[in-house]
Structure 1
Amino acid sequence: MQVIGLCRFSYPAIGGFQVEHETTEERERFLYTRDRMEERFRLFETVTLPGLRAQTEPDFDFLVVIGNSLPAADRDRLQDLTAGMPQVRIIAQPPKPHREAMKAILNAARRNPSEPCLQFRQDDDDAVSVDFVERLRTAARDCAGLLRRNRTVAIDYPRGFIAEMGADGISASEQVRNLITAALGMYVRGGCPASIMNFAHHKLGRFMPVVSFSDAPMWVRTHNRFNDSRGANASPVAVSPLTAEQEDEFRARFAIDADQVRQAFASS
């Protein structure tokens, strides 16, 4: 069964952001500011990509959507970072309505739309565990009867970490949060044109069955200066520096290396 992941990398969509802008040009100026782009690249390199590169099941597709206005130097840098990852395909698009554009990209990536597939979406500053794709496939097999009876089924892994990355390394807090974006998958029946982008992630349970596995931490969601989903009224999360043992856990579980984080953020 094909597994498809979708990641927006500073794509200037029309809509799809909680921080709004009056024009597309204003949004592009915000997204492409140098200090913001530097932070996105640091997080993408040290948090997002390592776990994807280390997946125990390497048979998946990962679509990285960028704006066709992304500065050439940034596009080259992104291509360099993902070189050697055959799963990655960088897709440049002009600004389009967010949800419709992402749905079209996901459906175009289905190699055989008459066959079922598994989909997930990932922010460019979050991580999934190194066995996420493997466990997603296992869940689909274990829930075969439920999948046969439904066009779509959400597969949720609610246990993970809120983390902050910096020159001192990683500070984190273990959490259990249902239906957040990170480590949330969805089964789509063959012939069904729906995608994981048809629905707001926190509302998936209104439209389909949700199967939840909370036995192991499966995601890291970073809090940083440019989180779109953290508004002024968001409750802060208290995080603590990782112990040496916890740093080892992050390396094993997410392929996130605290020393690499320290080095990447040393000059920020």
Structure 2
Amino acid sequence: MASFQHILIMRFSYPALGGFKLSKAGPDEVRATLYDPARLERRFALFEKLALPSLLNQRPNDCEIAIIIGEDFPQPFRARLERLTAPLPRTRLFPLPPMDRAVANVVNMIRDPACEYIATTRLDDDDAMALDCLGRIGRICRQVLRTKLIAPPLGIAFNKGLFLEKSTRGVRLYGAPQKTPLGIGLTLLAHRDMRQTVYTRNHRAVGAYWNCITDGMRHSFIRTVHVDNDSGAVSDGRTVEYDDSKLREILTQRFGLDLDDLRAI
């Protein structure tokens, strides 16, 4: 069986030159917005309650984690991020200047030349994956490379999960099965010579460019909707209302999270 390397990439308030609506405002405005202390406090509150525990609790997890930040990321927050991510195995911070292909450059820095394929997974710092996502991704990659039933490049997506809306009225959690993939846990398995990552295409359109496996049966993501969303965080599926008992069951069993903790964010 061909070997593969699995890398999860997170951009943490990284001032990219493109790819975001905010990018059009110019580099100075981008930095001022991303590095605003009040915004960063809100971002860390979500990171500490969602993305971080979802990574710490992955089972199993043989994935490398790369967190991209700006080279001028404010020092107190950088120290905080380093402290919070220290318990994460195989995790590195990559402080970079603004550039267009930051993710591809980071992948090139850490790629294992002995591996024929690379699986890149994306996760935003304000979202969460289910406890078994990275393990399932690894199993799918191994099955695909062993059986050769589906040819890479292959997208692996998770279309069933929860939306968490945070507003002045409080926090609302509801089911939001999607018609097209979100970016949470989205993965691209590709040959090393392809030089593409999961960030190369818009996550909603991966099925138009790559073969794609989609899991729509199990709750696998929590997508946050809040004042700082750049994309607008719009669901393209229906809304499913759950009572507190069902929400507690989903959050505990699938994410290892507590409903009351999330409502207190």
Q: Into which bin does the TM-score normalised by the smaller protein fall?
A: 0.7 to 0.9
SS at 2:38's partner residue?
helix
Q: Which moved more, 1:196-205 or 1:6-15?
A: 196-205
1:116-265 aligned at under 5 Å gives the runs: 116-144=117-145, 150-165=151-166, 171-177=172-178, 178-230=180-232, 243-262=244-263, 265=265
1:198-248 CA-partner distances (Å, limit 9, x unpaired) = 2222222222111112120111100011001008x9899978686144224
1:140 shift after superposition: 2.1
Correspondence 1:103 to 2:104? yes
1:22-65 CA-partner distances (Å, limit 9, x unpaired) = 32111100011122111100000001011110111121111110
1:104 shift after superposition: 1.4
Unpaired segments of 5 or more residues in structure 2? none
CA distance in 1, matches of 2:229, 2:30: 15
SS at 1:220's partner residue?
strand
1:240-260 CA-partner distances (Å, limit 9, x unpaired) = 686144224213211222343
Identity %: 27
CA distance in 1, matches of 2:230, 2:199: 17
For the Cα contact (< 8 Å) 1:166–1:262, is it kept in 2?
A: no
Cα 1:24–1:61 change in 2 (3 A) is same
Aligned CA-pair RMSD: 2.7
For the Cα contact (< 8 Å) 2:5–2:115, is it kept in 1?
A: no
CA distance in 1, matches of 2:58, 2:156: 18
Query: What is the identity, as a one-letter code, of the residue corresponding to 1:15?
Result: G
SS at 1:19's partner residue?
helix
Match of 2:94 in 1: 91
Unpaired segments of 5 or more residues in structure 1? none
SS at 1:154's partner residue?
strand
Q: Which moved more, 1:186-195 or 1:26-35?
A: 186-195
Match of 1:13 in 2: 16
Q: TM-score w.r.t. structure 2 length?
A: 0.88
For the Cα contact (< 8 Å) 2:162–2:174, is it kept in 1?
A: yes
CA distance in 2, matches of 1:37, 1:242: 32
CA distance in 1, matches of 2:181, 2:138: 18
